[in-house]
Amino acid sequence: MHIGDLRTPAAVVDLVKLGASLAAMRERANRLGVRLRPHVKTHKCVEIARLQHGGQEGPIAVSTLAEARAFASSGFRDITYAVPLAPQRGAEVAELVRAGLRLGVLVDHLDTVAALEACAGVENVRFPVWLKVDCGYHRCGVDPVGAVGLQVAARVGRSGHLELAGILTHAGHAYHCRNREEITAVARQERDVMVSFAGRLRQAGIPVPEVSVGSTPTMSAVDDLSGVTEIRPGNYAFHDVFQATIGSCRVRDCAFTVVATVVGSYPEAGRLVLDAGALALSKDPGPTHVDPACGFGRVCGLDGEELEGLHLASLSQEHGTVTAATATLAARFPIGTRMRIIPNHSCLAAACFDRYHVAEGDRIVGEWRPARGW
Amino acid sequence: MHIGDLRTPAAVVDLVKLGASLAAMRERANRLGVRLRPHVKTHKCVEIARLQHGGQEGPIAVSTLAEARAFASSGFRDITYAVPLAPQRGAEVAELVRAGLRLGVLVDHLDTVAALEACAGVENVRFPVWLKVDCGYHRCGVDPVGAVGLQVAARVGRSGHLELAGILTHAGHAYHCRNREEITAVARQERDVMVSFAGRLRQAGIPVPEVSVGSTPTMSAVDDLSGVTEIRPGNYAFHDVFQATIGSCRVRDCAFTVVATVVGSYPEAGRLVLDAGALALSKDPGPTHVDPACGFGRVCGLDGEELEGLHLASLSQEHGTVTAATATLAARFPIGTRMRIIPNHSCLAAACFDRYHVAEGDRIVGEWRPARGW
């Protein structure tokens, strides 16, 4: 089957680009002397996670318990659930741990520790626990210079039901950067905050086996990870317009595209309409802090090359509106023309699909089914 | 089961609010003397579509062929596929038509007419065709005062394989309005453009059996539909923050909410984190033209009442960050607290879930499975 034969909208993963990005990150982790624990939230797909580890079911991070269950049932044995756990879902974690999965959970609050301890006691299991640290993103995590972090770590350390696996952070504020220099600065901050916080804990007599950091931008730019033991980039498998715009990758590194068909042609108005809207591309506004007119993705031909002068200006539920620089240009793409869109945010766009078509060049060579739900 | 017992994030449909909105639109259609053809893209759920017709499998509009198949297999016999058809998918339409479904398709270009004619000839079926008209939204449709509309209608009329079912428009620009007065003006424009265009076609000797209009905003505000034969509102089943902000409904009419759990508590920073992010709420920026700081939805208690002083400020993939007006307020919602979020755009948020929990008050009384994919 040819990529142009797919029913649209369709999600396509370019196997060559995927392979190159995965190999580059593996080499980078090796060179920096850290374990690679890819965050699989971007693709949620066991086949890709195996490729990330050169064919093995290596350590991964997940964003939902549904992912944890799906990957555990495919042989992955070391998983970090890298989103703070709702205390009501402790029994589900216990069930996976009891079945032999090393499933690390995040804590950044004494209430969560108390809930986990109680649950582990009732369920008679021992939970590996990561202390989540705020290295500057200000979403989740303990303040690395405050008192709570030490209290939480000490309480975990004293617990018979919990094991402090290590400390963990995510420099999500790297997505606010405008270029590679800024990303490098955030990457150094991410590392320095964590190494310094690990030192504080160790000085207080609390062993810190692991120091885990990572985002795709910071891991694409960082030059030294002394004191860090593992990294958790996720988006690098697919990359996207956001990453390319802030300097984490090149546009041609993006492995995930959505194939769409021109279903409306209005050349006199310089406009085309595609059958890929917000339910196929997500409505992520993209890197507007760098490019306020970035639109909703890059418009490419079926060969994956960007089409100059076409702009994916707006999305409604099932329509993508493309503006063309001239009427002549718009007329070059009649109704029925196939295009490929590189989405602003591949994690959200990939989540719109129940299967990915695997492409080698213009041939479809396979189909992968991602995990869905929570 | 109680609404507070759901695993989160979870989609909940309030049966009383849903029923009230559906009854109000049915009454409105009756009063205005038009057929109600609800657009089911918002919920994609056969149970709700039946409720929209008082228990019958009445006429509907769909946004995907997957919806057409799902609703046809549940007994719906009169369906309009209200998105321009990719010509490559004609055979799928033919298969449904051959099975006895009245499946109307949209055309606004001679190329699409030619493709449909060829397909209908090969497949030996007759397609009901709606001529899509641009009443001012400027997404799809023929210019109502241009030459192409007449050409397309005439060509459909001459075809042995196509039947001109009528003319159809969608006043999507009603979503750019700021209040009910502006919506009323767009609703009148939508009607007047269509009635006038129908007159042009009839003067040219082309019969126009049906004149179909509709969006939730315009159908909530319009006072007279003389010359119109059917309306196709969709979002009114659920409503959402967007509709309430521009004046199509009240916040308390919103029937669709996402139940979430507080998984991060940082009262000193005036911040909470919920386990509902962009994959549970979509990333629709909402009615920013009226309320630039609208955030990503309204934060309510489990009883559905809005919580004053809480603001859903940002979303990442699985995290929703809520800012609180004061540290004291944030501290009132410890880890584990359940909340309900009214999304900015219920069509996109509902599409995040593979099931809806049906609630009467705080009791879960059923579960509905929507159609998915294309």
pLDDT tens figures, B109-158: 999 999 999 999 999 999 999 999 999 999 999 999 999 999 999 999 99
Residues 32-51 of B with CB under 8 A from A: 41
In the CATH hierarchy, which top-level class contains the domain A3-9+250-368? mainly beta
Overall average pLDDT of the B275-285 stretch: 98
What 3-state DSSP class applies to B246? helix
Label residue B182 exposed, middle or buried (CB < 10 Å: 0-12, 13-18, 19+). Answer: middle
CA distance B191 to B231: 10
Q: How confident is the model at residue A192 (pLDDT cuts 50, 70, 90)?
A: very high
CB contact at 8 A, A93 and A81: yes
pLDDT at B21: 98
Q: Measure the CA angle with vertex B153, ends B149 and B155; round to 5°.
A: 120
pLDDT at A344: 98
Domains of chain B, by residue range, sit at 3-9+250-366, 16-236
pLDDT at B106: 97
CA distance B105 to B128: 6
Overall average pLDDT of the B88-104 stretch: 97
Nearest chain B residue (CA) to A347: B317
pLDDT at B207: 97
Residue B139, chain A, CB below 8 Å: the answer is yes
The ipTM is: 0.97
Overall average pLDDT of the B178-185 stretch: 97
pLDDT at B315: 98
CB contact at 8 A, B200 and B172: no
CA distance A139 to A150: 19
Strands A256-266 and B356-360, bridge-based pairing: unpaired
pLDDT mean across residues, chain A: 97
Residue B273, chain A, CB below 8 Å: the answer is yes
What 3-state DSSP class applies to A322? strand
CB contact at 8 A, B171 and B193: no
| Domain B3-9+250-366 annotated CATH 2.40.37.20 | yes
Overall average pLDDT of the B235-264 stretch: 98
Residues B354, B358, B364, B366, CA torsion sign: negative
What 3-state DSSP class applies to B254? coil
pTM, full prediction: 0.98
The CATH label, of 3.20.20.10, 3.40.50.2300, 3.40.190.80, 3.40.50.720, for the domain at A16-235 is 3.20.20.10
Residue A57, chain B, CB below 8 Å: the answer is no
What 3-state DSSP class applies to A221? helix
% of chain A exceeding 70 in pLDDT: 100
User: Which residues lie across from A357 on neighbouring strands?
Assistant: A12, A367
Overall average pLDDT of the B12-16 stretch: 98
Shortest Cα distance, chain B CAs vs residue A75, angstroms: 24
Label residue A108 exposed, middle or buried (CB < 10 Å: 0-12, 13-18, 19+). Answer: buried
CA distance A186 to A199: 20
Shortest Cα distance, chain A CAs vs residue B263, angstroms: 5
The CATH label, of 3.40.50.300, 3.20.20.10, 2.40.50.140, 3.30.450.40, for the domain at B16-236 is 3.20.20.10
B76 CB-side CA count, 13 A:
33
Residue B337, chain A, CB below 8 Å: the answer is no
Residue B53, chain A, CB below 8 Å: the answer is no
User: Which residues lie across from A322 on neighbouring strands?
Assistant: A272, A312
Residue B321: its H or E element: strand B320-324
* pLDDT tens, residue by residue, A289-341: 999 999 999 999 999 999 999 999 999 999 999 999 999 999 999 999 999 99
CA distance B167 to B228: 10
Nearest chain B residue (CA) to A337: B86
* pLDDT tens, residue by residue, A44-99: 999 999 999 999 999 999 999 999 999 999 999 999 999 999 999 999 999 999 99
CA distance B85 to A312: 19
Shortest Cα distance, chain B CAs vs residue A154, angstroms: 19
Q: Which two tokens stand for residue B229?
A: 């034969």
Q: How confident is the model at residue B271 (pLDDT cuts 50, 70, 90)?
A: very high
Residues in chain A: 374
DSSP string, A228-288: --EE---GGGT--HHHHHHTSS-GGG--EEEEEEEEEEEGGGTEEEES--HHHH-----ST
Give phi and psi for B210, each to the nearest 5. Answer: -130, 145
CA distance A279 to A317: 6
Q: CB distance A316–B348 less than 8 Å?
A: no
Residue B299: its H or E element: strand B297-300
| Residue B287 CB contacts under 8 Å (≥ 6 apart), including other chains | B241, B242, B245, B246, B294, B344
Mutate to test the interface with B, among A279, A281, A284, A344 (most CBs of B within 10 A): A279
Angle between helices B110-123 and B148-158 (to 10 degrees): 10
β strands within chain A, DSSP E: 10-14, 35-36, 60-62, 78-81, 102-107, 127-132, 162-168, 210-213, 230-231, 256-266, 271-274, 297-300, 310-315, 320-324, 338-343, 356-360, 363-368
Q: How confident is the model at residue A148 (pLDDT cuts 50, 70, 90)?
A: very high
CA distance A324 to A268: 10
- Closest alpha carbon to A270 in A313, A317, A300: A313
- Nearest by CB to A347, from B109, B261, B317: name it: B317
Residues 65-104 of B with CB under 8 A from A: 83-89
pLDDT at B344: 98
pLDDT at B365: 98
pLDDT at A212: 98
* pLDDT tens, residue by residue, A19-34: 999 999 999 999 999 9
DSSP string, A45-74: -HHHHHHHTTTS---EEESSHHHHHHHHTT
Shortest Cα distance, chain A CAs vs residue B53, angstroms: 24
CB contact at 8 A, A322 and A272: yes
Residues in chain B: 374
Residues 201-230 of B with CB under 8 A from A: none
Residue A25: its H or E element: helix A15-32
Q: How confident is the model at residue A261 (pLDDT cuts 50, 70, 90)?
A: very high
What 3-state DSSP class applies to B320? strand
CB contact at 8 A, B102 and B125: no
User: Which residues lie across from A306 on neighbouring strands?
Assistant: A300
Q: CB distance B7–A89 less than 8 Å?
A: yes
Q: CB distance B108–A9 less than 8 Å?
A: no
Residues 5-34 of A with CB under 8 A from B: 7-9
Dihedral, CA of residue B311, residue B314, residue B320 and residue B326, to nearest 10: -40
